[in-house]
Amino acid sequence: MKEILLGNDAIIQGALVSGVDFVSGYPGCPSAEIGDNFAKIAKEKGVYVEWSTNEKTGLEAAVGASFSGLKTLVNMKSFGINVCSDVLFPLAYTGTKAPMVIVVADDPSCHSSAQSEQDSRGYAFISKIPVLDPADPQECYDFTKLGFEISEKFNTPVILRTTTRAAHQRAIVSFEEAEKKERKIGNFVKNPHQFSTMPPRVLEMKKELLEKLKKISAYAEKSKGNKITGNKNAKIGIITSGVSFMHANEALLELELNLPILNLGIFYPLPEKMIANFLKGKAKVLVSEEMTPYIEKEVIRIAKLANPKIKIFGKDILPEIGELNPELLCIALAKITGKKFKKFSAKTLTLPKRTAMLCEGCPYWYILPTIKRIAPEGTIFGGDIGCNMMGALPPHSMYDYMFCMGASIGIGHGISKALQPASAQGSGVAKKVITFMGDGTFFHSGVLGLLNAVYNKSNPLMIVMDNRITAMTGHQTNPGMGKTVMGEDTEELQIADIAKSCGVKNIRVLDPINIKELEETVKEFLDKKEISLIVCKRICALLARRSQKAKEG
């Protein structure tokens, strides 16, 4: 079949044709379509799909499924690999039983990401797990298949590292339609020798892993995942990875050059012999990769033996921050080849900046301005990831710090303790810490920060906006909703009840539209000597409008 597919949908097709049985993960941009769209076809295709509570539980679930003989796919955005890295490293040691592909979606230029501009390829070096880097939707499909093949052949998990411009690219993809199948029931065959990472066995496992990597390296050297295009006899070459392969091709057209490109679809293990051969006989090579110069550093090392006279260009003429595009490649290639290229000079227009903000009718509109207004001067506000992120932008511009999922309360506890006098808990603390997070974030990791604040006796005021959905990432289900992503009924977890059983004494659940009640509760809790929690329960405005339309339509 040939269809236009979104990169993420191409990954779904690749997984289906590989016979995937089990899909887990946590929603984020630019990967969320994988879990969402998989859930829509789950029953029909005989696949189990879940949105897990976070990336760690998501990967753990997949490990369990893999050990039980089910083929698994995990999907998350870049930062998710940080959350599940504690599972990832031992997984390389134990290896998988049934094959597993882990999709990690990076976001160069941070179009939809806070925290940092993360280059998740780096995890390959610590974890020693193969990493594939697709340039477009066709490679998203091909490399998902390749990932399952490598995983099956070597019993290793494989990371499929996408970026926004590949995952959210639409292009024509040639793919096979997957055969129908029944949902597979797993079978757990006991194997503690392989599944349990106790010392000293774990050191033996490390030795096995290093041996395994040599075999995977040899396999990578011959793999179709890496390819060379263009005029092989030219003295100047380009080495690319990911979507920069597409930009390089575009630049060659623009500059009317015919140069060879070595595109590394397999980032780790790098096909060193292939690279060495590519470097031989060339005078110059440009390494084109987004963000960190990982490949560039390896190429410099390989060149010392393969071709010590070659001039290697990379981050000296391409940026280390931000995504690449054809124009940047044109500028770099023009410098190296001496071809003329006139950079387009964009006009400087001074126009009012439009920033993102909360949707019309969002319950946060009641909460953020109210609390900002009544909080005493010097109150410290902690922000988190999700829709409440908008609190960092005008017109609120409220947050004093913002890090990663759940950090509002985690860091808030630290500030609260730091400001506490050494005497008995909570006496005379002048400045209060008020933290904000959503229900999705609470279930992801906020609850853990809450536990620490109770146990280690700080007194922030924690606000949880329970809008009945995980909203910012595209309205996914979470444990507070009583529904799974496959549409089944399940326990509806109550944030207030959880907090109560975690020992929080001061809890109020209210509808934030009642501004007076919110004001009075906040004023009351400002004086509390222990942690307090206000759960603001009101449905997301977009969700409310859609449910209304669905009822009418």
Partner 1 sequence: MSLVDQAAVNEGYDVRSSELHGLSQRGGSVETHVRFGKKVYSPLISNGNVDLIISLEMLEGLRETAKAGKQTKFLINDFVSPFQGSLTKEEIKKQLGELKNEMHIVSASDICKEKLQNEVVSTIYLLGYAVDKKLIPIKAESVLKAIEKLVPEKYRDLNIKAFNLAK
**CB neighbours of 139 closer than 8 A, spacing ≥ 6?**
166, 265
Smallest gap, in angstroms, from Cβ of residue 253 to partner 1? 7
In 3D, which of 359, 366, 360, 517 has the Cα closest to residue 436?
366
Should residue 243 be labelled a site residue for partner 1 when binding is judged by CB under 8 A?
yes
Q: Which helix (H) or strand (E) holds 137?
A: helix 137-154
Q: SS3 letters for 502-548?
A: CCCCEEEEECCCCHHHHHHHHHHHHCCCCCEEEEEECCCHHHHHHHH
Q: Which of 199, 308, 352, 378 binds partner 1 (CB under 8 A)?
A: 352
Q: Which is nearer to partner 1, 105 or 264 (CB)?
A: 105
For residue 104, give the H/E element and its range.
strand 100-106
Q: Which of 37, 85, 112, 425 binds partner 1 (CB under 8 A)?
A: 112
The correct pick among 122, 326, 426, 482 for binding partner 1 (CB under 8 A) is 326
Distances (CA, A) of 13 to 93, 173, 179: 29, 10, 11
115 binds partner 1 (CB under 8 A): no
Q: Does 129 bind partner 1 (CB under 8 A)?
A: no
For strand 236-240 and strand 131-132, is the pairing parallel, antiparallel, or unpaired? unpaired
Amino acid at position 401, single letter: Y
Supply the minimum distance, in Å, between the C-beta of residue 263 and partner 1: 12
Q: 473: number of CA atoms within 13 Å, CB side?
A: 28
Region from 27-35, 414-422, 430-438, 453-461 binding partner 1, contact rule CB under 8 A: 27-35
Q: Is 165 in the site for partner 1 (CB under 8 A)?
A: yes
Q: Does 208 bind partner 1 (CB under 8 A)?
A: no
CA neighbor of 266 nearest in space, from 124, 88, 77: 124
Smallest separation (angstroms) from partner 1 to the CB of 148 = 26
Residue 391 near residue 368, CB atoms below 8 Å? yes
Which listed residue (164, 223, 288, 459) binds partner 1 by CB under 8 A?
A: 164
One-letter amino acid at 99 equals: P
Distances (CA, A) of 509 to 221, 356, 454, 500: 60, 28, 19, 12
535 φ/ψ angles, rounded to the nearest 5 degrees: -100, 115
Decide: is 163 part of the binding site for partner 1 (CB under 8 A).
Answer: no
Smallest CA-to-CA distance from 495 within 516, 520, 464 is with 464
Q: Which residues pair with 163 in a beta bridge?
A: 106
Stretch that binds partner 1, among 147-155, 250-258, 333-341, 494-502 (CB under 8 A): 250-258
Axis-axis angle for helices 80-94, 55-67 (nearest 10): 20
By CB under 8 A, residue 247 contacts partner 1: yes
Tell me whether residue 393 or residue 429 sits nearer to partner 1 (CB atom).
393
Nearest to partner 1 of 149, 254 (CB atom): 254
Nearest 5°: phi and psi at 436?
Answer: -125, 130
Which of the ranges 46-54, 82-90, 319-327, 530-538 carries the binding residues for partner 1, by CB under 8 A? 319-327
Shortest distance in whole angstroms from residue 321 CB to partner 1: 17
249 binds partner 1 (CB under 8 A): yes
Least Å distance between CB 223 and partner 1? 22
Contact region for partner 1 (CB under 8 A) — 13-21, 126-134, 333-341, 342-350? 342-350
Binder to partner 1 among 272, 327, 511, 530 (CB under 8 A)?
327
**Is 349 one of the binding residues for partner 1 (CB under 8 A)?**
yes
Cβ contact 133:265 at 8 Å: yes
Question: Which position among 144, 459, 473, 478 is part of the footprint of partner 1 (CB under 8 A)?
Answer: 473
- The answer to whether residue 387 forms part of the interface with partner 1 (CB under 8 A) is yes
Q: Is 185 in the site for partner 1 (CB under 8 A)?
A: no
Site for partner 1 in 64-103 (CB under 8 A): none
* Site size with partner 1, rule: CB under 8 A: 46
CA distances from 337 to 235, 258, 278, 330 (A): 10, 11, 18, 10
List the structure tokens of 120. Answer: 């998740």
Quick one: 187 or 344, whose CB is closer to partner 1?
344
Task: Give 44 or 491: the residue with its C-beta nearer to partner 1.
Answer: 44
Residues near partner 1 (CB under 8 A) are 4, 29-30, 32, 111-112, 136, 164-165, 168-172, 243, 246-247, 249-250, 253-254, 325-327, 330, 344, 346-349, 351-352, 354-359, 387, 390, 395, 472-474, 542, 553
